[in-house]
Structure 1
Amino acid sequence: MSKYLRELPNRQTIKTSELMKHYFQMVSLDKEMQIGMSETANTDLLISAFKTTQMYLAKVGIIGKIRGSLSNVNQSYWDDFLSGAVVNVSLKWLNDGMKESPEYMGKLIASFVSHQDAIG
C-alpha cells in the first residue's frame, strides 16, 4: 500500500474515481499476490490494508469522511463497508481476467458510492 500512496497524484484532494483507478492499477500489478491471498483465506488482510489506507487518506484530508457530521460509529461502519466492497470487487475483477480498464473500475466504484451512474 505504500507504493499506492506514493503514486497518488500530488493534490490536496482526489476524486473517488481517480483514487479507485489507482487502486485497481496497483491490484493489477500485484495480481498473483492478491489472488493467492484470496485463495489462502487471507482476504481479511487485504481488506485491513485497504481500510487502514483509506482511514489515513481521510485523516490527512486527501479524501473526505462520509457526510461530514455523522458519528464515529457510522464512520467506522462506512470504513468497513467500503473496504470489504472494494476488495471483493477487485478480486472478482482479477479472477474474471481484468476485462475492464482500471479507469472504468474506478468510475464504477465511484458510481456505486455516489449512487449515480458515473460510467454511463
Structure 2
Amino acid sequence: MNPQERKQQNLTAIYEALLQLMSHKPLSMISITELCAHAQLSRSYFYRNFTSFDQIILTYQEQAILTYFRRLPRQSKITLPVLMTQYFTFMQQMAATNQLLIDNGKAQIIVQTFEAAYTLLIRHDRIITVTDSTIHHQPYYIAFFSGAVVNILIHWQQAGMVEPPSYLAQQIVRFTASHTGNGLK
C-alpha cells in the first residue's frame, strides 16, 4: 500500500471510529485514547495529524466533497438547480452521519464543508449564474448562502426527507431569484 492509500485508510478508520463512538455517547465524553484504540491507531498518529475531533470530521468531510465533485456533470459549467440537486442527493446518502453531527452540535462542520465546496466551484467558474454574477464575490455572500442551504438540509432531514432533492433545488433557486430580483444584491 502506498503512503497516500495508507493516509486515506487511516483517516477513514479514525473517522468511522469517531462516528461509531458518537452513536453511543456524546462527543464530549469520548477521549483521544478511546478513539485511537477503537480505530486501532496510535495516539501519536492523532497528535501528528489532528488538533481536535472537529478536524477529523472536517478533513474527512472535505474528502467526501471530492466525491460530490465527481458526481457533477462533466460540462465546464453547471446550473444552480443541477448543483443543488446533486448536493441534496449526496446529503441524503449521508443522512445518518449528518444526524450524528447535528445531534453532537457539529452542524457548523456541514456548513464549512459546503462553503469550501461552493467557494471552489466559484473560484473555478463552474457555476452558470442567471442573476448578477458579482453577488458571489460580495462579502459574506458565501457564508449567507451556505448557511441557508445547510439550514434547509437540516430542516429537510428533521422532517424525514420526504421531498426529492430536485424539489429542494427548485426552492433554493426560487428563493435566491426572489431576493436578487428585488434589488437585494
Same fold per superposition (TM over 0.5): yes
Q: How big is the shift at 1:114?
A: 1.1
- 1:15 and 1:71, CA in 2 relative to 1: closer, same or farther beyond 3 A? closer
Q: How big is the shift at 1:60?
A: 0.7
- Where does the alignment leave 5 or more consecutive residues of structure 1 unmatched? none
Query: 2: CA distance between counterparts of 1:21 and 1:12?
Result: 17
- 1:71 and 1:102, CA in 2 relative to 1: closer, same or farther beyond 3 A? closer
Among 58, 69, 74, the alignment partner of 1:10 is 74
Equivalent residue, structure 2, for 1:55: 119
Alignment root-mean-square deviation, CA: 1.9
- Which one scores higher on RCO, CA 8 angstroms, separation ≥ 6? 1
Among 87, 97, 104, the alignment partner of 1:33 is 97
Q: How big is the shift at 1:64?
A: 5.4
Q: Which contiguous aligned blocks of 4+ residues in structure 1 show a shift greater than 4 angstroms?
A: 69-72
- Where does the alignment leave 5 or more consecutive residues of structure 2 unmatched? 1-64, 180-185
Query: 1: CA distance between counterparts of 2:81 and 2:134?
Result: 23
Equivalent residue, structure 2, for 1:97: 160
* Cα pair 2:136 2:142 within 8 Å, conserved: no
Query: 2: CA distance between counterparts of 1:54 and 1:84?
Result: 12
Aligned residue identity for 2:73: P
Aligned residue identity for 1:38: I
Say whether 1:42 aligns with 2:106: yes
Q: How big is the shift at 1:68?
A: 3.8
Identity %: 25
Query: 2: CA distance between counterparts of 1:110 and 1:88?
Result: 15
Q: How big is the shift at 1:70?
A: 5.6
Among 20, 39, 42, the alignment partner of 2:84 is 20
Which one has a larger percent helix, Structure 1 or Structure 2?
2
Task: Answer with 1 or 2: which has the greater Rg.
Answer: 2
* Cα pair 1:58 1:64 within 8 Å, conserved: no
Question: What is the number of equivalent residue pairs in this alignment?
Answer: 114
Equivalent residue, structure 1, for 2:140: 77
* Cα pair 1:24 1:90 within 8 Å, conserved: yes
Query: 1: CA distance between counterparts of 2:136 and 2:148?
Result: 21
